[in-house]
Amino acid sequence: MTRYVLTRLGQAAVVLWAAFTISFVILFLLPSDPVSMAADSSGQGVAVDQAALDQLRARYGLDQSVWVQYWTSLTNALRGDFGTSISTGQSVTDAIFSALPSTLVLATTALVLAVLFGVAIAFFATYTRKRWLANMLFSLPPLGVAVPTFWVGLILLQLFSFRLHIFPAFGDKGFATVILPAITLAIPTGAVIAQVLTTSLQSTLRSPHVETAYAKGASRWRVQTRHALRLASIPAFTIAGVLVGTLLAGSVVVETVFSRAGVGRLTQTSVMAQDIPVVQGVVVFASLVFVLVNLAVDLFYPLIDPRIIQTKKSHTEKSNIESSTDLEPAHV
């Protein structure tokens, strides 16, 4: 187990390094100058003293070669220092953590709604005996994945804010402002959960242990809730990293549509301003969340299905037997 965890941690370190490097290269290749954009904050194309621009470039280390910039940024990032925002002068770490609570509330609410939405659709689509209802439920996940997130947000705004006046349209003050953005973010995420869980449930319900449960007199409800749902949920846990990526990527659009201050909105404004330190900090932070979620899921598997550990042990023992057999001298 220790070797497995260390291997996963090494893979996580490689992912974080790759995310940092790719973001650095992409931002470096952009044609515009972040210092000039920050100096001309009004966007009117006002001429700025060249000496002042050179001083700002030297302050942020942008006057050095690309290799020096990369090495300096990487070594500082290893210490948790992502530098200072070129646009605002605020510490990148402070900027991310000040925007994090709003995004955390939004993402948590959206994830809860997505799980409820996805599990309910998958469960009743495979449980109902009414064919028309099952077909309707089966068609919902592909529709939820295909519909653009920004379009869903605009429809919800138009209906529940501007016409019915039930929820506030913009802002992030109070839980009422979270409902519409969370629903917007939960629809594509829940659709993915429903697709994966539906397929897994259909396969699990045809397995021998389910037939054995029926033979022992278990009801259809008990078989589906106690025997099939737990095992069928393993593939859904497998895509947890994808779901986290969907939530983080969707927060950029959702927080922009609903004018919420969060990590997504911070990412959007930083990319527009070509604020390299902030963008790199957000990318590494998102990658860190991604790898931690995937590691937690891998460690959580045995709690769902203890046979996973037994399978790994049997494979290990089989490999050891085969290795020892190969080492034995051949008899003539």
Which residue blocks in 216-305 are alpha helix, DSSP H? 220-222, 229-238, 240-257, 263-273, 276-304
* 3-state SS assignment for residue 168: coil
Amino acid at 320: N
pLDDT at 37: 64
pLDDT tops 80 at residue 316:
no
pLDDT tops 70 at residue 320:
no
pLDDT in tens, 6-55: 777 788 888 888 888 888 888 777 776 666 666 665 555 555 666 766 77
CA 252, CA 131: separation in Å to the nearest integer? 39
* 3-state SS assignment for residue 84: strand
Q: Between the ranges 87-96, 181-190, 305-314, where is the mean pLDDT highest?
A: 181-190
pLDDT in tens, 141-174: 888 888 888 888 889 888 888 888 888 877 777 7
pLDDT at 238: 75
pLDDT in tens, 61-86: 777 788 888 888 888 888 888 888 87
Average pLDDT score, the chain:
78
pTM of the entire structure? 0.75
pLDDT in tens, 81-134: 888 887 788 888 888 888 888 888 888 899 889 889 988 998 888 888 888 888
pLDDT at 131: 86
